[in-house]
Structure 1
Amino acid sequence: MELRPYQQEAKQAVLNEWGKGILKTLLVLVTGGGKTIVFSKITEECVRNGERVLILAHRGELLDQAADKLKKATNLGCATEKAEESCIGSWFRVVVGSVQSLMREKRLNQFPKDYFNTIIIDEAHHCLSDGYQRVLSHFNEAKVLGVTATPDRGDMRNLGQFFESLAYEYTLPRAIKEGFLCPIKAQTIPLKLDLSGVSVQAGDFKNGDLGNALEPYLESIADEMLKCCTDHKTVVFLPLIKTSQKFKDILNKKGFRAAEVNGNSQDREQVLADFDSGKYNVICNSMLLTEGWDCPSVDCIVVLRPTKIRSLYVQMVGRGTRLHSGKDHLLLLDFLWHTERHELCHPAALICESEEVAKKMTENIEAAGCPVDIEAAEKQAADDVVAQREEALAKKLAEMKNRKRKLVDPLQFEMSIQAEDLASYVPAFGWEMGPPSDKQIKTLEKLGIFPDEIESAGKATKLLERLDKRRNEGLTTPKQIRFLEGRGFQHVGTWQFEGAKSLIDRIAANGWRVPNEINPSEYKPTQIEQPLGWEI
């Protein structure tokens, strides 16, 4: 089985991390990106090197899926460590293991600590639980790869306590752009659902309270679905089994062909097969189908289980992002949840790194009143936020003109070079969260950045890397940006070094005044020959 280009990049990135001595690394591939195929190929590489590999997961479906994909992708068989099955004595070099079984002390102690050379954790955002940590602590000399599709920022901060690096990340926007996942169109349904009385447990809404809060709205929600879902193959996520069953009955009365599955369904596989074949056009479930189930023909997702946890939201939406013949987009229905205490996940959570952009994107989609492509919506929201920031920055620059400081404010630098990634950066791993080192502070000051507003070593590292890259590309220095933007010139960070230097020389020759023939707000530097390098 041939890997896609990004899958090959991901595999090589993981091997490179291990080769550098970083034994605990993380791989993030968007839902539908083929993470099982990638870690199957990594497993094959390990076996080729004579290693014994444990693939660890928390659900039987994930273990079965891993064993099946491993066989198809590499022709490797595997043993199983789950319930009554044991891998001890097996000649297979690969084991798929249930964390619930392996975590038991009596079972775990049957294995020497060096029994496995490599451990691969599927759905690695679960791996900080006590059960996983017990297993990982036992095999503490093994290389570890965590694979997940859904690390939200909170997860990444937490996962950074265990993993030492992020080897590779393949995002939803990139997958859509490169044609490996289908575009998503989001539509806000103008139905206000009151959740103000719902209590919170473990950082999210309690399912029981959600089910009760949702019931009065089920008829209205079904009516709204009649307006936009009748020609779609739809998955509906609900908080409780009883709510899911009730909603199925309501949908059938409205003319849908709806079915329902839950953890107690004896005929679950048959119902899902019938949905896949077209017997049903809606499948309702109480959070059963978030992981380990694929039906590429799904082209509509209805999230009636509101959540503030991005990883859960992404898993739900991910059930509909795979490509399928005749499917040109996924329709994602978003609801106006009213809650006084918590910011809930909306379609913007799928694509936005910045909370500021996400908030603006959610407002824009709500105002549109029709399906909106989320990539176009994100770009528009980002442009809106940049315009707002530039307005705020103009006021800040006006204040800065009166200061004697010769260093450039980090925000001014980021906005000038149009670096949204720097402006929205959030530290993830442990080392990134610490304060900048004395060496970083001194280097930033020397290069013209005011360091007092840089709170983390990770942000300092990102800035220094960007400054080094800009120097190599012959772009403007922070001090040039500070000097020229302080005199009204725009986006000096996008200019070549030599163009800025030539203009500063003209201003210096004019007694440090901008020549009358130059309008700073409209000025564009002329093309300069090959830049010679940075200087002040």
Structure 2
Amino acid sequence: MNQKSNPLSYGSKLTTGGEDQLLEKLVHAINRANEIFISVSFIQKSGIRLLFEALSDALQRNASIKLVSSDYMCITDPTALRDLQLLQQSGAQVKMFVCKGRQSFHMKSYIFVRNEDDTEYNGCAFVGSNNISEAALTSAIEWCLRYDQNTKEPEFKNILNQFDAVFNHSQTVELTDHWISNYIERRSEVKPALQQVGAIDEPKAVPNNAQLEALTALQGSRDKGFKRGLVVLATGMGKTWLSAFDVQQLGAKTVLFVAHREEILTQAARTFTQLMPEQTTGFYNGKQKQQESDFLFASVQTIGQQSHLEQFSAEHFDYIIVDEFHHATANTYRQLLNHFKPKFLLGLTATPERTDQADIIQLCDNNRVFERTLINGIEDKILVPFHYYGINDETVDYQALPWRNGRFDPNEATNAFATNKRATHITEHWHKHHQQRTLAFCISKRHADFMASWFNKEGIPSAAVYSGSTLHRNEALEQLNRGKLSVLFSVDLFNEGTDLPAIDTVLILRPTESKILFLQQLGRGLRQSPETDKTHLVVLDFIGNHKSYLNRAMALLGKNHPSATEINKLKKTPELTDGCFVNIAPELIDFWADLVRMGKTAIQAYQSLSEYLGRRPSASEFFYDGFKLTKMREQQGSWFELVANQEDDAKIQKITRNPVYRNFLLQGIETTSMAKSFKPILLEAFLELDGLRTPPTTEALAQRSREIFDRHPELLPDIRADLQNCSSTDSRWHKYWLSNPINFLSKKDQNHSQAWFTVEHGVFKANINIDAAHINVLERMMQELVELLLALYSDRISRKKEKDKPQVEAKQPESNVVQLPYFPNLKIACGHFKNGTADEAELMEIPTDYNRKDNSRLFLARASGNSMNGGKNPIQDGDLLLLERITSNNAGSISNLTMAIERQDEGGDNQYLLRVVKKNSDGSYRLVANNPEYGDLIANEGMATFARLVGVVG
């Protein structure tokens, strides 16, 4: 019977294995059937892996699946049973035939029905020797005879009836967690028998080199006291496997894995069950609420809601994993993270930049545990090298395409892309560089269909695959892997969460405004594929004359900010690591160079970052992106005024138009002075306690603040030494917290119109009138600014650590000179505070008169200004100053000494000033200039001494 009369089947009725694989015919039938009936003696994980995607897709289109296997000789793999449970949870009916005594169970049948209407159907049944294992479905010599039926004749009805008899047999039981647990125990006693029949499936997975390093780092992080951490692993390096290995390392019994897409959750569940089949797994989403499972895989859209969070105690999970942070709103995750208190929380992402990680790192208590980029993965032989060709998309004028909200209009872009001229251009370059299996990314279904049709006309076997396409995704991948297709043109199906190891060529035919998305598309082809002898990935990227494409070049170079230096590197075909290279058309590099020379305003920086992220940036992301916050405020007034100007967000616009709210956010939070981390920790605790609605007592505020410190062990040194180990309920801690941030945050700053917080009758609250209707949005805006404060402070700590390291090693003299590090950009102001950085250092020789036994803390910088031009030892503008860095070991007294003072401006940049420090009778300090024309300054909590003056180098 031919395929036209029975769309479920094709080819000869007898399948013999090897070149004539049963797998292809089963996948073909699964993708077209309304009803699926499978009965096999045993199932191995290698076999169910080959059928899982097709069966899962069938369930999604509401096909009926009934499957029965057996415990015959305990050959079936428990991991395969867990995969069957995942299908069961999606709607499949799965049962096990329990053999008694020496009873055998040898059924191997696959039955498919396609209903055409109420009276007619097509059917086919494969009956033979094939169980569900990779060998049986592919390479082994296995005979299987197909019976086709396209009407309701008695013989086919008899086949269905006989299946039902087995499926409903008294010895056939439903597959449950309890049954699997008992089966695992029974199976452990019959391993020798399994080995005799060759039923031991592939060995358990083990960590790769990068995962081993990450596991060590994760355990070390926990040993330091961290309860949360972020791991950055490039696409293809095994983030999900790492999380499963770490769950095993920690010995966690209850686990929550959170993601934004069902596909990611299903794949994660399969990973965990493969490693730990003895644990039960379940889903928590819009359809299922299996909250009693050991390992729960939950969609953030569901479990992130307060009503669902309340179904779990705070300590319900030992371990929580949050995957792909960059896809979620911070507020959704924050509700979840504020509710749960696991032994450890792991954030996972593949994004490589600090900009991308700004919100993520806040949620992980500023603890970046481990990071490996694509290049690291290639160097470790986990990923294959890539050959990247940036091809000028000369057939399209991107400047003429409508650009709205950070992306091109898809209809107009499709019209410009789906042309014979562009297709010819693409085909020429594909013929020049392609390998065996190509995955192409298109902007729309119409674009994908056009390209597939064009390539087929050119004699290149191709297909378009997308949601609702005639060819199912799983079948398209199988055909590509087998070589029946050379190119798959896809739309939004393979950006993430899909393992495509055989792909060796990636064709990027669409604009990809987000660097994250671009790296995910690149990563689709970087996985190793020993079966196909893949040596490298070819990437053909068609690049237009538009600013959004600049992100791609920076992504390849691992850079966040495009600069003239980085652009020039591209002209020399940079080699990133062995086997990798980047080749970009010269006219594109020239175009990018012109863009970089133009510079950016705050609005342009905001828009560029929005395009890169694919969404509105947060304040901390904007800070890490490098635009000066002080410059931003000069141009826009405040962060949220910039947001309100750029986003169609009526709620934020309404808040920023209210002068009380605006000043509260700007003065009370965004630009509050910080000597330590206390203020952002206090504000974080206030928000966690729902302080805008129900102002907390100072005791509750102090207690929650201490709990937040416990999540931030790197900030504990800010606390007075004798209180670093005290409990959150200790009265000494409450007293200390009252006298420090609560007191300071409740005072009116000299530059502000009022005190923005107050304490009344032991309750800490905002000192403004807030309309109840505005609380939700004001709370979110506050949270974003608190995260900015923590980012500013964390960056300050990092820069201080770098500064405290000898930037350039001081060398002892061989003759009459000594070499010390000189910082050309570190201007020590003699007048008013002046911005400076210690980002560059060089060695400078000075006379041996200044040599000391220990030169490790000495450095050189220039004076800038005339406030110290007076007294016995005047300091002139431009003098070379010899300074000694202050550390905890050499601090000593500072009174009456000339000191370099450090503070940060509102944008988080360091400023420096040289003054004589005088102590007042009340214990405070004033900063005195040697030049009487300059008045004294009163030291405040935002200032710190960082070096003492040794002398002026003559």
- TM above 0.5, yes or no, is yes
Q: Secondary structure at the match of 1:186?
A: strand
Which one of 467, 473, 479 corresponds to residue 263 of structure 1?
Answer: 467
Which one of 335, 340, 343 corresponds to residue 139 of structure 1?
Answer: 340
- Residue 441 of structure 2 corresponds to 237
- Residue 283 of structure 2 corresponds to 80
1:309 and 2:645 are equivalent in the alignment: no
Share of identical aligned residues, percent? 25
1:195-225 deviation line (CA, Å, top 9, x unaligned): 2243445533343443233223542343333
Q: Secondary structure at the match of 1:504?
A: strand
Quickly say closer, same or farther: Cα 1:114–1:425, change in 2 above 3 A. Answer: closer
Question: Residue 148 of structure 1 aligns to which amino acid in structure 2?
Answer: T
CA deviation after TM superposition for structure 1 residue 247, in Å: 0.9
* Maintained 8 Å contact 2:227/2:343: yes
* Maintained 8 Å contact 2:230/2:361: no
Provide the C-alpha distance between the structure 2 equivalents of 1:434 and 1:45, rounded to a whole number of angstroms. 43
Provide the C-alpha distance between the structure 2 equivalents of 1:28 and 1:261, rounded to a whole number of angstroms. 30
Provide the C-alpha distance between the structure 1 equivalents of 2:403 and 2:229, rounded to a whole number of angstroms. 32
Quickly say closer, same or farther: Cα 1:436–1:14, change in 2 above 3 A. Answer: farther
Q: Secondary structure at the match of 2:822?
A: helix
* Maintained 8 Å contact 1:128/1:159: no
CA deviation after TM superposition for structure 1 residue 12, in Å: 3.3
Provide the C-alpha distance between the structure 2 equivalents of 1:479 and 1:460, rounded to a whole number of angstroms. 24
Q: Secondary structure at the match of 1:110?
A: coil
Provide the C-alpha distance between the structure 1 equivalents of 2:207 and 2:431, rounded to a whole number of angstroms. 41
| Structure 1 segments unaligned to the other structure (5+ residues) | 381-387, 389-423, 441-454, 484-491, 510-529
Correspondence list, 1:3-402, <5 A: 3-46=207-250, 48-50=251-253, 52-75=254-277, 76-88=279-291, 90=292, 92-103=293-304, 107-128=308-329, 131-139=332-340, 143-165=344-366, 166-192=368-394, 193-216=396-419, 218-265=422-469, 267-325=472-530, 326-339=533-546, 342=548, 344-356=550-562, 365=570, 373-375=575-577
Provide the C-alpha distance between the structure 2 equivalents of 1:377 and 1:494, rounded to a whole number of angstroms. 32
* Maintained 8 Å contact 2:808/2:841: no
Quickly say closer, same or farther: Cα 1:494–1:191, change in 2 above 3 A. Answer: same
Provide the C-alpha distance between the structure 2 equivalents of 1:103 and 1:439, rounded to a whole number of angstroms. 32
1:144-171 deviation line (CA, Å, top 9, x unaligned): 3211112544422233443322221111
Quickly say closer, same or farther: Cα 1:379–1:293, change in 2 above 3 A. Answer: closer
Q: Secondary structure at the match of 1:345?
A: helix
Q: Secondary structure at the match of 1:320?
A: coil
Question: Residue 332 of structure 1 aligns to which amino acid in structure 2?
Answer: V
TM-score, scaled to structure 2 = 0.41
- Residue 27 of structure 2 corresponds to none
1:435-475 deviation line (CA, Å, top 9, x unaligned): 996699xxxxxxxxxxxxxx965554444323433279656
State which drifts further: 4-13 or 193-202: 193-202
CA deviation after TM superposition for structure 1 residue 135, in Å: 3.9
- Residue 466 of structure 1 corresponds to 802
CA deviation after TM superposition for structure 1 residue 255, in Å: 2.3
Q: Secondary structure at the match of 2:243?
A: helix
Provide the C-alpha distance between the structure 1 equivalents of 2:671 and 2:583, rounded to a whole number of angstroms. 32
Q: Secondary structure at the match of 1:287?
A: coil
Quickly say closer, same or farther: Cα 1:184–1:459, change in 2 above 3 A. Answer: same
CA deviation after TM superposition for structure 1 residue 278, in Å: 1.9
Q: Secondary structure at the match of 1:355?
A: coil
Quickly say closer, same or farther: Cα 1:309–1:154, change in 2 above 3 A. Answer: farther
Provide the C-alpha distance between the structure 2 equivalents of 1:259 and 1:335, rounded to a whole number of angstroms. 20
CA deviation after TM superposition for structure 1 residue 330, in Å: 1.5
* Maintained 8 Å contact 1:299/1:327: yes
- Residue 872 of structure 2 corresponds to none
Higher fraction of helix: 1
* Maintained 8 Å contact 1:185/1:374: no
Q: Secondary structure at the match of 1:196?
A: helix
Provide the C-alpha distance between the structure 2 equivalents of 1:200 and 1:66, rounded to a whole number of angstroms. 37
Structure 1 vs Structure 2 CA RMSD: 4.2
CA deviation after TM superposition for structure 1 residue 304, in Å: 1.7
- Residue 616 of structure 2 corresponds to none
Quickly say closer, same or farther: Cα 1:232–1:85, change in 2 above 3 A. Answer: same
Quickly say closer, same or farther: Cα 1:271–1:356, change in 2 above 3 A. Answer: closer
Question: Residue 274 of structure 1 aligns to which amino acid in structure 2?
Answer: Q
Provide the C-alpha distance between the structure 2 equivalents of 1:16 and 1:77, rounded to a whole number of angstroms. 28
Q: Secondary structure at the match of 2:345?
A: strand
Quickly say closer, same or farther: Cα 1:198–1:462, change in 2 above 3 A. Answer: same
Quickly say closer, same or farther: Cα 1:482–1:372, change in 2 above 3 A. Answer: closer
State which drifts further: 271-280 or 196-205: 196-205
CA deviation after TM superposition for structure 1 residue 103, in Å: 4.2
CA deviation after TM superposition for structure 1 residue 182, in Å: 1.4
1:342-365 deviation line (CA, Å, top 9, x unaligned): 4543244133225245x6555665
Question: Residue 327 of structure 1 aligns to which amino acid in structure 2?
Answer: K
* Maintained 8 Å contact 2:330/2:359: no
Quickly say closer, same or farther: Cα 1:186–1:25, change in 2 above 3 A. Answer: same
- Residue 481 of structure 1 corresponds to 822
CA deviation after TM superposition for structure 1 residue 258, in Å: 1.2
CA deviation after TM superposition for structure 1 residue 185, in Å: 1.5
Provide the C-alpha distance between the structure 2 equivalents of 1:532 and 1:329, rounded to a whole number of angstroms. 50
Pairs aligned (count): 438
* Maintained 8 Å contact 1:113/1:140: yes
* Maintained 8 Å contact 2:574/2:582: no
Question: Residue 13 of structure 1 aligns to which amino acid in structure 2?
Answer: A
Quickly say closer, same or farther: Cα 1:8–1:74, change in 2 above 3 A. Answer: farther
1:28-70 deviation line (CA, Å, top 9, x unaligned): 1011111111001122234x254x2111112222112111111
1:486-508 deviation line (CA, Å, top 9, x unaligned): xxxxxx9576xxxx6xx5337x7
Question: Residue 330 of structure 1 aligns to which amino acid in structure 2?
Answer: L
Question: Residue 466 of structure 1 aligns to which amino acid in structure 2?
Answer: E
Structure of greater relative contact order (alpha carbons < 8 Å, 6+ residues apart): 1
* Maintained 8 Å contact 1:184/1:373: no
TM-score, scaled to structure 1 = 0.69
Quickly say closer, same or farther: Cα 1:426–1:242, change in 2 above 3 A. Answer: closer
* Maintained 8 Å contact 2:265/2:297: yes
CA deviation after TM superposition for structure 1 residue 9, in Å: 2.3
Quickly say closer, same or farther: Cα 1:351–1:282, change in 2 above 3 A. Answer: same
Provide the C-alpha distance between the structure 1 equivalents of 2:798 and 2:624, rounded to a whole number of angstroms. 9
